[in-house]
Structure 1
Amino acid sequence: MKSVLLLLAVVGAALFSVASADASNAQKQHDVNYLLWKVNENLRDETHKTYAKTFDPEADTSHYSDNGEAVHRLMKELKDHRLLEQKHWFSLFNERQREEALMLFDVFMHCKDWETIVKNAAFFRERMNEGEFVYAVYAGAIHHPLAEHVVLPPLYEVTPHMFTIDTEVIQEAYAAKMRQTPTKIKSSFTGTARNKEQRVAYFGEDIGMNTHHVFWHLEFPFWWRDSYSHKLDRKGENFFWVHNQLAVRFDAERISNYLEPVQELHWEKPIHDGFAPHTSYKYGGAFPSRPDDIHFEDVDGVARVRDMVIYESRIRDAIAHGYIIKEDGTHIDIMNEHGIDVLGDVIESSLYSPNVQYYGALHNTAHIMLGSSNRSHHGKYNMPPGVMEHFETATRDPGFFRLHKYMDNIFREHKDSLPSYSFEDLDFKGVEVTNVAIDGKLETYFEDFEYSLINAVDDTEDIPDVDIDTYVPRLNHKEFSYNIDIKNDKGADTLATVRIYIWPHKDNNGVEFSFDDARWQAIELDRFWVKLSAGDNHIVRKSTDSSVTVSDVPSFKTLMEKTEAALSSGGDLDLHEFESAVGVPNRFLLPKGNENGVEFDLYVCVTDGEKDAAIPDIHTKEEFMHYGSHGVYPDKRPHGYPFDRHVEDERIFEQVTNFHHTMVKIYNHGEHIHHHD
């Protein structure tokens, strides 16, 4: 995440300090806007057009911090005609396509000044595959210190084909373009009412949820090498936590819709739920469908099903032994709170994994296998990749949540092998949470969300654009606040961490969860730091302030208008609240609930802020974490603390005075708000 924490982390900052004054934030935003605008067409900015024609990336290597090594490598591939052609699908899980996108990313990361970044971007945009180009620009803007304040336009407006559920919507957009009439087209979710999975399609197919998933994987990519610029703190643990939170949130939606929690995948059993995406690539035909009850098959050149079974058993062995074996045969002890971090690197298999040879890449390979399960016949029909082979589209497939339930259960096996927290581990002496009340209703509703399809249709510069939008129902909730009363008997000001969790009280059959099963379904609603004064403290925390959520990024059009206004007035462009897109969409803070009200256990846990905080003056920082951050992760505690470990006796949670438990109900009265004609 781009935030104040960037200062702590960018090792190469000195390299850039002189050069960073070379363009205003508004200019940088303008450049990024126009480099991504109509990415399948010609460049529209005159300066960029000139760069694309006249710039020679290799002419002056003094502008690169690696003396041009990265740019020579990419130019050689270009001159040898080895790069993927334009107007072709791109998948990050395709090894060669990923390698090409990262070559361009590597060029960006070694540019010492903004002008060199833009010149390279304009030059390669005209010559490289559009999907590879977009990926490299997004990754570069997130990780390059010079782009710290750039807000990336919403991906669903840059590459709408990857997000717009129904091919017919795109066809209607083309028709509107031909007629030159502004149009608003209704989008709906895939499937029909005959498919009960349809009841939760609003979650997995939500464009904000898809964006969250993509951005998290851009922020903590599995391909990351520290030599790009810095170490990603707690990357493996963040991988565990962000997917755990997606899985438990999905289960809460299922319970709200009278469905049983999701079942984990099994390599030897059929994948019960099929999936028909109803979506097409911009280039390359339709996304393949997967019928119900299909078995996993070997994927030529990628993996065999039996390998996956072996990798899983090696990982579970490591958990039972309490150590991971490194490539050199030495052991890494995982029987501690950092074990989850190593395990996350191993299971995802990022380049941080200490032994890919032995433990494989369970997560990444599983994505390819699920994506390929509908392309079988071993490449015979030359089908493009399935939805599971793109982070943009993966959460639409019910198989995604089954896969992550399977991974999550492996992580749980590890967490359950650690010693339970003792009274001393949980207690915050002299601090008591005396009362927690919710101000406002815990109530959700659906509202129409509109976004532009201008970039979905082909174009010519001679014909002006008309507004072509689509609108889609999205879950939202009414605003509310927590009123928290805390008594501080320590006699002095005390820094405290406040963690707020909820979990479903009963399953879809109305059976209460045991405490030990329930706590593994904890949804983190908020985490923040506060200075408690001596005596009684009354804290009001708004739902809108949650540190785990982010706002929707303004539309591409709004970003462009604001940027151009700032450029022409010479004013400041302040978009800092949208700089991080890593969090869960703010409208998804609460699970849906239903008309009868779904009961949730609400826990407010107040712990010692001095012990927890990994950075100084943490309570004064406004922007921080959204599931991760550049630099040092701000909280020293494990993700999910204090509910991340096996609980022998839940009475301990009632004995500590610094935790408070209450029951709440979340309602959905079927309200649907339309915002258009």
Structure 2
Amino acid sequence: MKVLVLLALVAIAAAWPNLGFQADGAGVSDAQKQHDVNFLLHKIYGEIRDSNLKAKADSFDPEADLSHYSDDGAAVQKLMRDLKDHRLLEQKHWFSLFNPRQRQEALMLFDVFIHCKDWDTFVSNAAYFRQRMNEGEFVYALYVAVIHSPLAEHVVLPPLYEVTPHLFTNSEVIEAAYRAKQTQTPGKFQSSFTGTKKNPEQRVAYFGEDIGMNTHHVTWHMEFPFWWQDSYSHHLDRKGENFFWVHHQLTVRFDAERLSNYLDPVGELHWDKPIVQGFAPHTTYKYGGQFPSRPDNVDFEDVDGVARIRDLLIVESRIRDAIAHGYIVDRAGNRIDIMNERGINVLGDIIESSMYSPNVQYYGALHNTAHIVLGRQADPHGKYALPPGVLEHFETATRDPSFFRLHKYMDNIFKEHKDSLPPYTKEQLTFNGVSIENLSVDGELETFFEDFEYSLINAVDDTKEIQDVEISTYVPRLNHKDFAYNIEITNNNDKEVLTTVRIFAWPHRDNNGIEYTFDEGRWNSIELDKFWVKLSSGTNHIVRKSSESAVTVPDVPSFETLFEKTKEALGGADSGLTEFESATGIPNRFLLPKGNEQGLEFDLVVAVTDGAADAALDGLHENTEFNHYGAHGKYPDNRPHGYPLDRKVPDERVFEDLPNFGHIQVKVFNHGEHIHHH
């Protein structure tokens, strides 16, 4: 969205050059905004360490001048009333977005931020409420506001694993950090993944417990929140379909990691069967005790005050009925046809369920309720007053192996819908005059592990009197060597054509060594890249580097880097932070699954489709700032996510005979290499 807002502002500014029009009225520099956000999120459990912001926090009156709010102060008056009546959650208490009252409070604050007309009002409110509201609620509201407010266009959000390290770091390491602080001894502590060699699930813990994957998951849910209403500021394009696709990709990627480690693909969860895999998180809340554990083979129980298992079964059957009928029924009783390429969007809104769902009363909120129900199985009746489980936070959810079983279950419901649509025909898939002559990969497809270090300064309690000591942890993370795709395409048209290049890969065999059929493979395909290019008449040789992938983003810079770069930018230098403005994609180090010693075989497929027909926006071939997974604004590709592999393929010859479709086998190697940097 920001992109579109900005273009509109630029247009106004160009039309009225003599007004000295500034995007936020007061002309605050991006560097100053970055500085403010850095300090608002640093040391979240202690005092604000920037004297200007601290002064604002102490002296600002949010209700003094309501002309600074686009809703005339309605949101801020509502929040202040609850603050004065002592209705808000205290500080130093856990926060969960899935707790209805806590979510409501965080959103009341978000509502204030999103209606601020200028940066000074935004930042003054942030400083003021940071001192008075629960820290978890504050962090959530500020993150979502920075992502969605046009005022914060170019601000880079610091990594959540440094803002609230407790949610990302094992208890053992946090304890070591506290000891280091107490004895004033700097330390670097090694993190290991939870679980033991006796637990086969441990072999893929590097995926679900990866701090970059956790960041991707939580950031995506901030970019497309289930509670979003367009009245806040703008419409989130294809939100329901994005919900399906991003979780589908997490699921198929997880299965590819399992195959790399000689495990079967993940089985779906059944409400009437035991949850086979237990989970001991080895993580502790900053305030609120340990995250609850769950033993193996627990039977689902109703969760008091949340849901009964039989209600989930009823909601599921209503959704499956709608898929079988090919339509859903909205609140007024009208039919909405879903037997088309946009049906998936409606279905995603219903399954999640988001505020965009046309009928929450009837179709419920399968996904959100399931997260809570699964998260509470350690204490379903509140008998032990345990805090929420890992599944009740987007930061921590993918740590629990049952997360992927839950999402496989929902993915299969989506598959049922996609498989009910008519398969694409040869005519629909052909791109006249365009053919792929050759497809190959430059460089070995090889992965390795390397240590990644992040700071734990914000994990420990803190006063100005006691010096900070350098405390950090390092954790092994998957990465891959650079490679590139070589694609040779002939354009037999006598003119230039715009084309979309779509690159996917799927495992060649299952864990029993049986080859996947084309139809099984395409549903398990990992999206590796998608980009637009103009083909001139004749032969076109395209080299696309793995580092350019549109589905990935670089790791978020550390607080230390942000402080350093912001200081330079305040002094007039280029901040060098532009590439980090979106953190919604998958971490670029996770582009390839791990593979193994022998080389895990994958089918690599490239589909070259008609760019002019696909494009939802102009100038896509010049667009290097690809919208990762649909973040910000209109999704540039008109086609459904996963196209042209998103529908069932009863006869693979349709694809194999297409001139604009290339298909080769490749191997991904992992030689057990682990690079240590200390």
Indicate the residue corresponding to 1:618 in structure 2.
620
**8 A contact 2:9–2:23 mirrored in 1:** no
Q: Distance in 1 between matches of 2:49 and 2:657?
A: 65
Please state whether the residue corresponding to 2:529 is helix, strand or coil: strand
> C-alpha offsets along residues 618-671 of structure 1, whole Å, 9 cap, x if unaligned?
110110221012221100000000110011110010111000000000000000
Indicate the residue corresponding to 2:475 in structure 1.
472
Q: Distance in 2 between matches of 1:176 and 1:556?
A: 20
Change (3 A) 1:599 1:497: same
Report the Cα offset of residue 22 of structure 1.
2.6
Q: Distance in 1 between matches of 2:5 and 2:539?
A: 35
Please state whether the residue corresponding to 1:96 is helix, strand or coil: helix
| 2:43 maps to which of 18, 38, 46 | 38
AA partner of residue 52 (structure 1): A
Alignment of 1:306-385 (within 5 A): 306-376=310-380, 378-385=381-388
TM-score by length of 2: 0.97
Report the Cα offset of residue 18 of structure 1.
5.2
Indicate the residue corresponding to 1:506 in structure 2.
509
**8 A contact 1:9–1:631 mirrored in 2:** no
Indicate the residue corresponding to 2:598 in structure 1.
596
Q: Distance in 1 between matches of 2:349 and 2:343?
A: 10
**8 A contact 1:20–1:146 mirrored in 2:** no
| 1:497 maps to which of 493, 500, 508 | 500
Structure 1 alignment gaps of length 5 or more: none
Q: Distance in 2 between matches of 1:464 and 1:85?
A: 27
> C-alpha offsets along residues 379-416 of structure 1, whole Å, 9 cap, x if unaligned?
11110000000000000000000000000000000000
Indicate the residue corresponding to 1:145 in structure 2.
150
What do you get for the CA RMSD once the two structures are aligned?
Answer: 1.5
| 1:640 maps to which of 639, 642, 645 | 642
Alignment of 1:117-266 (within 5 A): 117-164=122-169, 166-266=170-270
Please state whether the residue corresponding to 1:607 is helix, strand or coil: strand
Report the Cα offset of residue 182 of structure 1.
1.6
Report the Cα offset of residue 561 of structure 1.
1.1
Please state whether the residue corresponding to 1:627 is helix, strand or coil: helix
Indicate the residue corresponding to 1:430 in structure 2.
433
| 1:608 maps to which of 610, 635, 653 | 610
Across the two proteins, how many residue pairs are aligned to each other? Answer: 671
| 1:538 maps to which of 528, 536, 541 | 541
Q: Distance in 2 between matches of 1:17 and 1:92?
A: 35
Report the Cα offset of residue 10 of structure 1.
9.5
**8 A contact 2:450–2:675 mirrored in 1:** yes
Report the Cα offset of residue 565 of structure 1.
2.2
Please state whether the residue corresponding to 2:33 is helix, strand or coil: helix
AA partner of residue 174 (structure 1): Y
Indicate the residue corresponding to 2:424 in structure 1.
421
AA partner of residue 204 (structure 1): G
Change (3 A) 1:189 1:119: same
Q: Distance in 2 between matches of 1:8 and 1:278?
A: 47
**8 A contact 2:70–2:117 mirrored in 1:** yes
Residue range with higher mean Cα deviation, 171-180 or 202-211: 171-180
TM-score by length of 1: 0.98
Change (3 A) 1:391 1:11: farther
Report the Cα offset of residue 574 of structure 1.
3.5
**8 A contact 2:6–2:150 mirrored in 1:** no
Please state whether the residue corresponding to 2:649 is helix, strand or coil: coil
Indicate the residue corresponding to 1:96 in structure 2.
101
Q: Distance in 2 between matches of 1:555 and 1:629?
A: 22
Residue range with higher mean Cα deviation, 125-134 or 647-656: 647-656
Q: Distance in 2 between matches of 1:12 and 1:302?
A: 49
> C-alpha offsets along residues 485-511 of structure 1, whole Å, 9 cap, x if unaligned?
000001111100000000001011101
**8 A contact 2:437–2:488 mirrored in 1:** yes
| 1:394 maps to which of 380, 392, 397 | 397
AA partner of residue 491 (structure 2): N
**8 A contact 2:565–2:576 mirrored in 1:** no
Q: Distance in 2 between matches of 1:206 and 1:643?
A: 28
Q: Distance in 1 between matches of 2:6 and 2:46?
A: 37
Q: Distance in 2 between matches of 1:123 and 1:93?
A: 25
Residue range with higher mean Cα deviation, 614-623 or 20-29: 20-29
Change (3 A) 1:18 1:616: closer
Change (3 A) 1:13 1:523: farther
Report the Cα offset of residue 570 of structure 1.
3.1
Q: Distance in 2 between matches of 1:442 and 1:423?
A: 32
Indicate the residue corresponding to 1:277 in structure 2.
281
Q: Distance in 2 between matches of 1:194 and 1:611?
A: 53
**8 A contact 1:10–1:145 mirrored in 2:** no
